[in-house]
Amino acid sequence: MIRLFGMALRREQLLPRLGHLSQLAGFQPAELSEGQSRGVRVLHVWNGSGLEFTVVVDRGLDISHCRFCGIPLSWRAPVGEAHPHRFDPRGLGWLRTFYGGLVVTCGLTQAGAPCVDEGEDLGLHGWFSHLPAEEVRWDSYWEGEELYLRVSGKVREWRMFGPNLLLERTILTRLGDPWIRIEDRVSNEGTKRTPIMLLYHVNLGWPIVDAGAEILCAFTDVRPRDEEAAKGRSHWFRILEPARAFREQVFYVDHPAGDDGYVDVALVNPRLRGDGLGLALCYRKADLPRFTLWKQLDEYEYVVGLEPANCWVEGRAKEKQRGAVEYLEPGEARSFGLELRVIDSEGIHRLREALRQRGRVSAE
């Protein structure tokens, strides 16, 4: 059965009631025309559950806008979806064109702080989110009574005498269900053993980020990245009011996986919509063993980042010092994935109960 707007219908009951499927769910390609975003190709997607999001074709097939029943979920920077030609790869230049957005992918050979590795200057978070996708397609298809919407494409990171990594991405959602699934496959199409660093930068903003909201997860350890974060160690999972001149706090959190090998973590606001709303992430810990929590609670820069990854955020040189860099051999490929789901008060309760089976739970 297809569940929409409090009703349950079979496929043969639903379709005669529509002029066109886009009445409920579909795609709308567009090209942005204002400011620094001029010329950027995007694809708007909606799925009949109240979930709407924008895939940025020219920025790594990442996701910028995201709303649920009119409520914005993602934080948005003033720069908008800046054209990749404006990217400054040096040092912290990545921040000049960081639009926020629901999911920004960092990598593929560098993620985290700027550094110098074997004489190569590596800027913040690498190149990936400024690389245009190619062979981009979108379609919808039925599997029995379920209608799926799919966006796919390829993004390549290449340099002469350097890496040749190809990421093949599929973004899935389903009619009537408020979730998005990202499925990535990274292949080394070069002739050299190549570092693979991948981080999903999930950026949430007001109103889901607000005083009284919390990070909900099971955890075994929490480590502040530096002295500034240590000041917030006792309340690392709590979201506070915006504070002028707030300095970012970054925490490394170890989440135990469930019996299925998957980790669940959410940002929940118990007051939103009256009885609570949250966004939950689910991913396989074997693929993304690290998790970084980024809290930037300044005025106008009021954003929380949930960041599953296969690395920490101090740059490739530090990762090499730790002996923690992962590599792809020539011809080798690895898969990564991330699911994002909007959860209501009932979903928050179910998640909390499931997390209690794994050990200590935040926000308790």
Which tens digits make up the pLDDT trace of 189-245? 999 999 999 999 999 999 999 999 999 999 999 999 999 999 999 999 999 999 999
In tens, the pLDDT along 44-83 reads: 999 999 999 999 999 999 999 999 999 999 999 999 999 9
The one-letter amino acid code at 176 reads G
Using a 10 angstrom Cβ sphere, with 0-12 exposed, 13-18 middle and 19 or more buried, the burial of residue 164 is middle
Cα 223 to Cα 81: distance, rounded to the nearest angstrom: 33
For residue 1, is pLDDT > 90?
Answer: no
Cα 331 to Cα 181: distance, rounded to the nearest angstrom: 26
Retrieve residue 15's tokens: 């379709």
Retrieve residue 251's tokens: 């925490």
User: What pTM was computed for the model?
Assistant: 0.97
**Could you state, in order of their start, the residue ranges of all structural domains in the chain?**
2-356
Strand, helix or coil at 192?
A: coil
- Closest listed residue to residue 239, CA positions, set 202, 208, 276, 277: 208
Residue 75 Cα distances to 50, 72, 303, 307, angstroms: 18, 8, 6, 14
Cα 57 to Cα 31: distance, rounded to the nearest angstrom: 10
167 - beta bridge partners? 155, 186
306 - beta bridge partners? 202, 293
Distance, C-alpha 31 to centroid of its chain: 22
For residue 246, is pLDDT > 90?
Answer: yes
Q: Which CATH number fits domain 2-356: 3.30.70.1560, 2.40.50.700, 3.40.50.300, 2.70.98.10?
A: 2.70.98.10
